[in-house]
A and B are shown apart, each in its own frame.
Chain A
């Protein structure tokens, strides 16, 4: 259990999430990729906090990351719902409103 091990695991999770965010067609699956990437950031931040600078206030930053993740989920689902209502679309390839 070292800093390098923690960061390596976080990097692996981040890369898997990045793959999903780039490759998935369904909007909600893209969001799951983004979630996975933030999951990795939580682990990396927790590792850096514990192994490098365990001051009491450092944890507050992790709380901010978790809050950012919930906001991303809420707004993402709202936009996905709007997209589905307006166009009946659930794929990123079909949501090309801004290119027209």
Chain B
């Protein structure tokens, strides 16, 4: 059983890394997005292997939805289809490869050389229930802080991305009598 778990875990790791590399290798933007989704799903299942059911499932569900939306954005933002007109969309490729390889070697050396401590404590019998009780009890402040931050993000993202808002039409103090529109509308035109 343990061998099967190990093989599954390593296999998922290979899938996660390979799909991550495919993001920057494939030509089509949509394919790149779905490669990233595959990488996230593989990591989500690995988190399930590590007995954190809630976190793993949340990661998978959220990333599948996020990548579905992202695929639309990717197509929107690309002026042309790189799958039809192959071209290089990278800069300082060799330096980037060098930095990435050096980072991996540095991290791997640390991971293999550090004398990791023994596990302290034992996992709760129901990990998801323990997380829920932590969030609803002593760690509630964390979620209470994240909530307004998320609302602020929604507002800020809409303000940044909106094409024309009421401030463009009625001035910064919203006191302009007639809106400043490219094509005036209404009865009294």
**Chain A contact residues, CB within 8 Å of chain B:** 1, 3-9, 11-20, 22-29, 32-33, 35-36, 39-40, 42-43, 46-47, 49-57, 59-60, 62-64, 66-67, 70-71, 73-75, 77-82, 84-85, 90, 93
Residues of B within 8 A of A64 (CB): 142, 146
Structural contact, A4 and B111, CB atoms closer than 8 A: yes
Interface bits B33-58 vs A (CB < 8 Å: 1, else 0): 10010011001001101111011101
Which residues from 1 to 41 on chain B have a C-beta closer than 8 Å to any C-beta of chain A? 2, 5-6, 9-10, 13, 16-17, 20-21, 23-24, 29, 32-33, 36, 39-40
Structural contact, A66 and B62, CB atoms closer than 8 A: yes
- Closest A residue by C-beta to B100: A19
B interface size (C-beta, 8 A): 84
Residues of B within 8 A of A14 (CB): 103-104, 107
Q: How far is the CA of A64 from the CA of B143 in the complex (A)?
A: 8
Query: Would you give the shortest CB distance from A36 to chain B, in whole angstroms?
Result: 5
* Residue in contact with B139 in the complex, picked from A5, A28, A33, A60, CB distance below 8 Å: A60
Structural contact, A59 and B131, CB atoms closer than 8 A: yes
Q: Which 4 A-B pairs have the closest CB atoms?
A: A56-B130, A23-B96, A9-B13, A19-B100
